[in-house]
Copies of this chain bind each other. A is one copy, B any other.
């Protein structure tokens, strides 16, 4: 299959490599020339612009850092929608706000271009190992069409309903994840300060009603889970600043939807504080440091 790929950064680079490894013909573009060279070294054809990247392809995959980037790549005279030929399948794997995803898809549909939003979870490790989870929004037919492509880059392909719902699923999941991590941090820090052994407490919670992914799989208290980032100085994992970005998307989507999200807004500010304190590059479970300074 002939594919145009735009956005070859930490995530897009290995995703593109996996498409190449699966035998697809890929035209690759990025505003950073070195990123394009790296793709070319793996077998991609160098494209010199978005228009050049999507010329003659059957599908386009994009992996971009934010909504404005997605708008500028897709919309306008130099964009994907203006240059892709009718029928080309568009797959945007960026994490952006659902409204933008829907607006871009609306413009695409007007030009006969089917589109799905397909944000991922799994991080750079998942991108490299082709084990990403894709949360896909779009028509059933378009989801089916995208499947073979996505299957080269990931393992779990989840259809979330109509266009934009991939983004909704991702940001609402991460909203719950951030609050759950903060809940776990407060519970663990308090139990420890009140005299309980953190491992014993985690063991009880994890078989009780307080359990969550952050407590049983990714516990933020150092030493409770040997393979969690908490047990290696909060290195690796999912960066606090990435969580901060997703909380920004979630609260902004809630603002436009008119839904009060008090706990999510608190979580956003706590991660903002954490980032301002210099911890934005650590794994997001390091938020417990805001509490442990007080605890031990």
Contacts and interface: CB of A to CB of B under 8 A. Distances in A.
A289 to B, nearest CB: 12
Nearest to A188: B172
Interface string A239-275: 0000000001011111101111111111111101101
B210 A213 contact: yes
Contact of A250 (B190, B213, B250, B259): B190
Main secondary structure of the interface of A (DSSP, over half): helix
A186 B264 contact: yes
A200 interface: yes
- Could you say which of A176, A184, A248, A290 has the most chain B C-beta atoms within 10 Å of its C-beta? A176
Contacts of A182: 179, 262-263
Contacts of A217: 209
A218 interface: yes
A193 B259 contact: yes
- Could you say which of A168, A197, A252, A293 has the most chain B C-beta atoms within 10 Å of its C-beta? A168
Interface string A153-185: 000001011101100110011111101101110
Contacts of A272: 254-255, 258-261, 294
Contact-size category for A: 35 or more
Contacts of A266: 262-263, 265-266
Contacts of A121: 208-209
Given A200-B161, A266-B266, A260 B291 contact: yes
A194 interface: yes
B262 A276 contact: no
12 contacts: A168-B194, A168-B196, A176-B215, A180-B210, A182-B263, A186-B261, A259-B294, A260-B272, A261-B269, A262-B266, A265-B265, A265-B269
